[in-house]
Amino acid sequence: MVEDMNAFLRSKRVLHMEHSLVKFKKEAFWTYHIKYMEETPGADSISGYTKAKIDYRETLDETTFNKFSRMREMRKALSKSENIPAYTIMTDAQMAELAQIEELTIAKMKTVKGLGEKTVEKYGKHFMAIEI
């Protein structure tokens, strides 16, 4: 069931998600409320235009790309351990920006567009621990 839900969420652009525990008589179960938009692979659902996929191997220098690759491995491990899609932790664009920062700190991570304080607090130490 978890695999089915993850597959569903990966195929959609999730806008908002809530879950709650419902108790009915002697039973209890989880309910999920998910607000989403249909996602077309390779297309922006809002504008309908195809997004250009960035090849970070070409746009980053070798050292930065190696750091970026290790960050992707870390993100994948974190997403697997938490059973959530990797993009909910951080996007490739955010990681590419982080990989370009020489001395990564919590304060510098918070300057990256789209990285909120909670994300940085929860995952920052994992990405700062990556060595090249």
The confidence score (pLDDT) of residue 51 equals 61
Alpha carbon separation from 80 to 33, 53, 87 (Å, rounded): 22, 24, 12
Q: What is the pTM of this model?
A: 0.60
In a domain, 51, yes or no: no
Q: How many CB atoms lie within 10 A of CB 91?
A: 16
CATH of the domain at 119: 1.10.150.80
Please state the rounded mean pLDDT for residues 54-75: 92
Domain that holds residue 84: 56-128
Per-residue pLDDT tens digits for 93-119: 999 999 999 889 999 999 999 998 999
Domain count of the fold of the chain: 2
Alpha helix ranges (H) inside the chain: 2-10, 56-59, 62-82, 92-99, 106-109, 117-128
52: pLDDT strictly greater than 80:
no
**Residue 70 has what pLDDT?**
95
Reading the block at residue 39, the tokens are 């996602």
Residue 81 has pLDDT above 70, yes or no: yes
Q: Would residue 49 count as lying in a domain?
A: no
Work out the mean pLDDT of the chain and round it to a whole number.
Answer: 84
Residues 116, 64: one domain? yes
Percent residues over pLDDT 90 in the chain: 48
C-alpha torsion sign, points 80, 98, 111, 14: negative
Nearest to 131, CA basis, from 88, 69, 79, 78: 69
